[in-house]
Structure 1
C-alpha cells in the first residue's frame, strides 16, 4: 500500500490504535501503542522516544560507560521517523496496524546507535556502487513448555522442551505440535514474513525456519520481526521460544545463517552467478568473499554479540571458529551455494540466532563491499572436507571481550561503520562482559564451594 492508501485505511478503520517499534542495539524491539490520530499527525514529522533505549542493556540496566546517552545527558528524546513501507497488520492481535521506525533523520543517533540507520547507510553505499543486495536469514530456535513466568520462577533451570529427543527433519515432531507449526507458517505469512519452510532440527524442541529472501532492508525488517513474532505466537500455545545461541552445553547451538547475493541494480543480473559455461566464480563474488574473510576477525561482535554467542562457535555446532570458505561446505565460515544463475549466493555460517539482524546484515554487506572496493584477491584456498580440523587458518577471537577489544582498535571496523558507531557499540559489549564477570555462576559454586 502507498502512503496515501495507508492514511485512508487508518482514517476509515474502526481500529483506534497503532503499534510502533524500533530496534535497540541488541536487536530487541522497543515500542508502544499510540492512538491512530497521533500516528497520522506524526507521519510527516518526528516522534520523540526517550534515548534510554540506546542507553541500557537487554535487562534495562543503564550503561555507565557510554557517551551518546546516559545520566550525564539527562536521557532526552531521540527523534524517530516512522517508515510507512513497513506497514503490516498483526494477525494474532485482531489485525492491529504495525509500523517500524528508526532514527535516520536524527544525526546524533543515526551515526552512533541506531542499527536500522546503520544498515540504511551501508545499503545506500551499495546502491551508489550500482548493486542491489538481496538477503535472507534462517533461524534455529528451541521451544519450551510454559510461559516466561514459569521459567523465571525456576530460574530457568531444567525447562521442558515441547518435544523429546534428537529428531531432525521429523514429521512426527511437527505433527505433535501441529497447531503451533501451522500458526507459525500462516500467521507469519499474514504478517508479511513469508517462510520458505519450517522443520525440526536435531535436538529436543528445536525448529528451523528460513525466511524468503528480499532486498536487504525489508529482509532485515523481516528477520528482526520474525523473532518477536515467533515468541508472541508461542505464548498463545503456552510455550516459550528462545533464540539463545547455546542454551544447553550438551545440545546443539542455534544458528542464524545469513544468505546473500549482489545484483546489478540496473540490469537485474545476479552478480554472484558463475562465469558462463565454467566452474569459475565471478570476479565480484571472489572480491566479496575475500572482503568478508579479511574483515571477519575485526567485526566478529556484529555476528556474535553476546557472552553466550561464543559457547556455540567452534564447538561442533556447525559454527566455525576459523576464517574459511568452501563450495557447499557447511563446516566453513562462508559456504558458496551454486544452484543456478538466479539462486547462486553465499551463506555466512558464523552468526547465531542471537544476532541483531540490522547489525549482522550491515556487517556482512559492508565487509563484502570492502573486498570489492579494494579488489581483494581471494588467496585463501577453499576448505574441502572438515574445515573444523584445518588448524592453519586464522582463528577467530573465542570470547566477547577479546573480540570487542579487537574491534574497538580496528581501523577496518571504523572504515566500515564510522568511529561514532564503533565507539558506542564496543562500549556496550564491554559493559556486557563486565555484567558477566560480576556474577557467581553455578559452575563456580559446584567447583569451589566445598573443595577450595
Structure 2
C-alpha cells in the first residue's frame, strides 16, 4: 500500500491504534502501540524513539563501551520510520495493524547500527549489480509447558517440555498438541509469514519450520517476525518457546539455516544453475560460494552472535565447525542443493536460531557478492564424507571473544559493512563476552563447591 491507501484503510475501518516495531542489534523487536493520530502524524517525519535501544543488551543493561549512545550522550531520541510495505494485521490480537520500522530516513542516511537499514544497503548493492536475491530462513526451537513466571520461579531448571522423548518428524506429537500446532501454521500464514513446512525435530518439544522464500528484505522481515510471533502464539497456549542455539548440552542445538539464490531482474532465471556443470553450478554460483568461504572467518559473529551460539557449533551436533562446502552434505558449513533448476540454491548452515536475521542474511549476501565482484575462484574442493574431519581450509572460531576480535580487526568486514557498524557491533559482542566471563555457572558450583 502507498501512503494514501494506508490512510484510507485506517479511516475506513475506524482503526484507533497501530503497533510498530524494529529490530535491535540482537534481533529483538522493540516497539510501541500508538494512537491513530500519532501514526498519521509521523508517516513523513518519523517517530522519535529513545536510542537506548541501540545502547543496551538483551537484558536492558546499558553497554559501557559503545559510542553511538550512552550516558555521555544523554540517550536522546532518534527518528525511526515506518515501512508501509510491511503492513500486516495481527490475527491473534483482534487484527491490530502492524508495521516494521527502521532508521533509514528520507535522506537515506541510515543509523550505522540499525540492522534492517544495513541489510537495505546490501540489497541496493545487489540490485546495482543487476541481481535479485531470493532468501529464506528456517528455524528450530524448543517449546515448554511453562510461563515467564514459572521459568523465573524455577530458575530455568527442571522445565517441562511440550512433549517427551526424541521423536523427529513425528505425526503423533503434532496431533497431541493440535491446537497449538494448527495455530502456528494458520496464524503465521495469516500474518504474512507463509510456512512451507512445520514438523517436530529430534528432541523433547522441539519444532522446525521452513518459511517460504522471498526477496531479501521481505525474507528477513518474515524471519524476524517469525520468532516473536511464535512466542506470542505459544503463550496463548500456556507454552514458552525458546530460540536459544543450545539450551541443553545433552540435546541437539537449534539451527537457523539460510537458503539463497540470485535471479535475473527480468525473466526470472535462476543464475545459480548451469545444467552443463558436473554439480549444476554456474560460474556465478561458484564465485558467490567462494566469497562466503573467504569471508566466513571475518563475519562469524553475524552468524553466531551469542555466547550460547558456540555451544551448538561443535563436532557431531549437526552444526558445522570447519570452512567447507559440498553438494547435499549436512556436515559442511555450506551445502549446495541442486535438485532442479528452480530449486538450485546455497544453504548457509552456520547460523543458529539465535541469529538476528537481518545481520545473518546481510553477512551471507554481502560475502557472496564480494566473491562475484572479485571473481573469486572456488579453489576449495568439495568435501567428501565427514565435514568435521576436513580441516584443510581452517576451522571456525570456537568462542565469541575470538570471533568478535577477528571481526573487529578485519578489513574485509569494514569494507563490506563500514567502520561504524563493525565497531559498534563487535563492541556489543565483546560486552556480551565480558558479562559471561564474570558470571559463576552451575557447572562451576557443582564441580568446585565442595571438593576445592
Common fold, TM-score beyond 0.5?
yes
Q: Following TM superposition, by how much is the alpha carbon of 1:315 offset from its aligned partner in structure 2, in angstroms?
A: 3.4
| CA distance in structure 1 between the aligned counterparts of 2:224 and 2:181, rounded to whole angstroms | 19
Give me the TM-score of the superposition, normalised by structure 1: 0.98
Q: Give matches, 1:173-212, under 5 Å.
A: 173-212=173-212
Partner of 2:140: 140
Is 2:340 the counterpart of 1:331? no
Range with greater deviation from structure 2 (234-243 or 431-440) = 431-440
Partner of 1:116: 116
Q: Deviations over 1:47-82 (max 9, x none)?
A: 110000000000000000000111000001111011
Contact kept, 8 Å, 2:304 with 2:352, in 1: the verdict is yes
Partner of 2:20: 20
Q: Following TM superposition, by how much is the alpha carbon of 1:40 offset from its aligned partner in structure 2, in angstroms?
A: 1.2
Range with greater deviation from structure 2 (7-16 or 222-231) = 7-16
Q: Following TM superposition, by how much is the alpha carbon of 1:340 offset from its aligned partner in structure 2, in angstroms?
A: 1.4
Give me the TM-score of the superposition, normalised by structure 2: 0.98
Is 2:410 the counterpart of 1:410? yes
| CA distance in structure 1 between the aligned counterparts of 2:131 and 2:403, rounded to whole angstroms | 30
Partner of 2:265: 265
| CA distance in structure 1 between the aligned counterparts of 2:52 and 2:253, rounded to whole angstroms | 31
Q: Following TM superposition, by how much is the alpha carbon of 1:166 offset from its aligned partner in structure 2, in angstroms?
A: 0.4
Contact kept, 8 Å, 2:273 with 2:280, in 1: the verdict is no
| CA distance in structure 2 between the aligned counterparts of 1:6 and 1:136, rounded to whole angstroms | 27
Contact kept, 8 Å, 1:234 with 1:240, in 2: the verdict is yes
SS in 2 for 1:112: coil
Q: Following TM superposition, by how much is the alpha carbon of 1:393 offset from its aligned partner in structure 2, in angstroms?
A: 3.1
Contact kept, 8 Å, 2:280 with 2:338, in 1: the verdict is no
Q: Following TM superposition, by how much is the alpha carbon of 1:110 offset from its aligned partner in structure 2, in angstroms?
A: 2.4
Contact kept, 8 Å, 1:318 with 1:349, in 2: the verdict is no
Q: Following TM superposition, by how much is the alpha carbon of 1:392 offset from its aligned partner in structure 2, in angstroms?
A: 2.4
Partner of 2:443: 443
Partner of 2:345: 345
Contact kept, 8 Å, 1:111 with 1:420, in 2: the verdict is no
Partner of 1:235: 235
Q: Following TM superposition, by how much is the alpha carbon of 1:141 offset from its aligned partner in structure 2, in angstroms?
A: 0.2
Partner of 2:155: 155
| CA distance in structure 2 between the aligned counterparts of 1:351 and 1:412, rounded to whole angstroms | 20
Q: Following TM superposition, by how much is the alpha carbon of 1:342 offset from its aligned partner in structure 2, in angstroms?
A: 1.3
Contact kept, 8 Å, 1:79 with 1:106, in 2: the verdict is no
Q: Deviations over 1:87-115 (max 9, x none)?
A: 00000000000000000128898252100
Structural RMSD (CA): 1.3
Q: Deviations over 1:345-389 (max 9, x none)?
A: 010000000000000000000000000000000000001111112
Q: Give matches, 1:89-128, under 5 Å.
A: 89-105=89-105, 110-128=110-128
Partner of 2:246: 246
Range with greater deviation from structure 2 (380-389 or 134-143) = 380-389
Range with greater deviation from structure 2 (88-97 or 38-47) = 38-47
Partner of 1:167: 167
Change (3 A) 1:30 1:109: farther
Contact kept, 8 Å, 1:243 with 1:354, in 2: the verdict is yes
Contact kept, 8 Å, 2:103 with 2:111, in 1: the verdict is no
| CA distance in structure 2 between the aligned counterparts of 1:224 and 1:395, rounded to whole angstroms | 29
Partner of 1:88: 88
Q: Following TM superposition, by how much is the alpha carbon of 1:15 offset from its aligned partner in structure 2, in angstroms?
A: 2.6
In structure 2, runs of 5+ residues without a counterpart are none
Partner of 2:9: 9
SS in 1 for 2:110: helix
Tell me how many residue pairs correspond in the alignment. Answer: 452
| CA distance in structure 1 between the aligned counterparts of 2:378 and 2:275, rounded to whole angstroms | 16
Q: Deviations over 1:394-439 (max 9, x none)?
A: 1111000000000000000001100000000000000000111121
Q: Deviations over 1:138-168 (max 9, x none)?
A: 0000000021111111110121100000000
Q: Following TM superposition, by how much is the alpha carbon of 1:38 offset from its aligned partner in structure 2, in angstroms?
A: 1.1
Q: Give matches, 1:351-370, under 5 Å.
A: 351-370=351-370
Q: Deviations over 1:115-141 (max 9, x none)?
A: 000000000000000000100000000
| CA distance in structure 2 between the aligned counterparts of 1:230 and 1:450, rounded to whole angstroms | 42
Change (3 A) 1:353 1:279: closer
Q: Following TM superposition, by how much is the alpha carbon of 1:391 offset from its aligned partner in structure 2, in angstroms?
A: 3.1
Partner of 1:57: 57
| CA distance in structure 1 between the aligned counterparts of 2:279 and 2:81, rounded to whole angstroms | 46
Partner of 1:304: 304
